[in-house]
Structure 1
Amino acid sequence: MRCLCWWATASIGKRADLRGESPKKFRARRGAENAPPSGGVPAPRRVALSCHLRKIGYNEKKALMEELVVLNTTLCYLERGDQYLMLHRVKKKNDLNHDKWIGVGGKFLEGETPEECVLREAREETGLTLTNWRYRGLVTFLSDTWEGEYMHLFTADRWTGEQIVCNEGDLQWIGKRELRKLPLWKGDLIFLDLLESDAPFFSLKLRYEGETLAEAALNGKPLEV
């Protein structure tokens, strides 16, 4: 060990001499070069991760990257007086929302902003082009069955165009007071109440075990479920 330490010290000294630096200054510079960019992973670890990704197979790499990606979606409630335009999800197979009533929306396409996504999804599912909308909150969904999701929540009260038949379910205008009579996710009732009370922009966490709401938190503070 002493020989190894001597060799390392001598090696640093030689490399420092080549640059006209003292060993202390050399070590300081090398530390700065290997420092993580903006709080990221240090250079040696970045190199190790890069080498690992090159060595593992395609399926392993795909699975690893999928674990690092969180699904982003939008959901929008179109308002007409005391009604919301609701979508009864009954037409898609293997739909986690099957037989539930929800707003309209869907997954982000690559490069889309939340606003671009909600405008596109509303137009595709309803035929309507939103002209006045509000970004109301961010809902973090966690589940022991489905992948995690960040859902960007909107409301809209003006649009143009004619309503079409949706291929994902049946669209129907429902009175806000009638919503609790419908099969909805329990967590949806929480953010629907926030929308109705005109709450400022909020962050809502909803964790499900199967279809049972196991945990909820609003702006970092636990809610009773």
Structure 2
Amino acid sequence: MSKRTEPVTLTNMCMIQAQNKILVLDRNDPVWPGLTFPGGHVEAHESFHDSVIREIKEETGLTIADPKLVGVKQFYDHNHERYLVFFYVATKFSGKVTPSEEGKLTWMTKKQLLQHKLAYNFDRDLPIYFDQNLSERILDGKRDELF
């Protein structure tokens, strides 16, 4: 009988929208630098919903309301363990944008975002945020597919 459980890392990322602008994070991380959306890890015993609200508050100073799950990305990390990223969109928020040690925050249009240096492979995640017919990205060895 095959094993039905495995180690997994759970994370989230949220596109925050205000009219035609999107809040983007220019990451300081030398491992994954460039523009992306804020987010982070799901902590033990924390719901996915609560984790994205907490991470956005920590990284941006904003308190988001009603984040909508729009998709997921999965791949295997350098330890060959599954890594999941839950993609959210939030259009309701309060507070003032306050940068964190994660990097600089900027409001941009989608067009402006696409003209900047994005974090590695982030361009392949973006269609899930903008195309309601897509909800999953799978990276597995040579496979990189959107569904």
- How far off its partner does 1:193 sit? 2.2
Q: Which residue of 1 aligns with 2:143?
A: 215
Residue of structure 1 in register with 2:20 after alignment = 82
Q: Distance in 1 between matches of 2:107 and 2:132?
A: 20
Could you tell me which residue of structure 2 aligns to residue 171 of structure 1?
105
The offset of 1:106, in angstroms, is: 0.4
Q: Quick one: which amino acid aligns to residue 206 of structure 1?
A: L
Shift of 1:157: 0.5
Q: Deviations over 1:150-179 (max 9, x none)?
A: 000001001111211211100011110122
> Could you tell me whether the CA contact under 8 Å between 2:75 and 2:84 is conserved in 1?
yes
Q: How far is the alpha carbon of 1:143 from its aligned partner?
A: 4.7
Q: Map residues 88-99 of structure 1 onto 2, 5 A cutoff.
A: 88-90=26-28, 92=29, 95-97=30-32, 99=33
**2:44 aligns with one of 110, 121, 127:** 110
Q: What is the DSSP-based 3-state SS (H/G/I as helix, E as strand, rest coil) of the residue aligned with 2:67?
A: strand
Per-residue deviation, 1:126: 0.8
> Which of residues 183, 193, 198 in structure 1 aligns to 2:127?
193
Structure 1 segments of 4+ aligned residues over 6 angstroms from their partners: none
Which residue of the partner structure matches residue 205 of structure 1? 138
Q: Which has the higher contact order (CA 8 A, sep 6+)?
A: 2
Say whether residues 1:123 and 2:60 are aligned partners.
no
The alignment's TM-score, normalised by the length of structure 1, stands at: 0.57
The equivalent residue for 1:100 is 34
The structure whose residues are more often helix, as a share, is 1
Q: What is the CA distance between 1:196 and its match in structure 2? A: 1.7
User: What secondary structure sits across from 1:120 in the alignment?
Assistant: helix
Q: Say whether the 8 Å CA contact 1:187–1:206 is kept in structure 2.
A: no
CA distance in 1, matches of 2:125, 2:64: 21
Deviation at 1:132, TM superposition (A): 2.8
Structure 1 residues 207 and 178: CA distance shift in structure 2, 3 A: farther
Contact persistence 1:122–1:129 (CA under 8 A): yes
Contact 1:127–1:164 at 8 Å: present in 2 too?
yes
* CA deviation map 1:178-207 (0-9, x unaligned): 22222224642233123223336x121135
Normalising by structure 2, what TM-score? 0.84
The 1:164/1:148 distance shift into structure 2, 3 A limit, reads same
- Residue 119 to residue 185, structure 1, CA distance change in 2 (3 Å): same
% same residue: 23
SS at match of 1:88: strand
* Distance 1:146-1:199 versus aligned 2 partners, 3 A rule: same
Alignment RMSD (CA, Å): 2.6
Structure 1 segments unaligned to the other structure (5+ residues):
1-35, 42-67, 209-213, 220-225
Contact 2:138–2:146 (CA<8 Å) still a contact in 1? yes
Aligned residues: 146
Which residues in structure 2 correspond to 1:13-24 (within 5 Å)? none
* Ranges in structure 2 where 5+ consecutive residues have no aligned partner: none
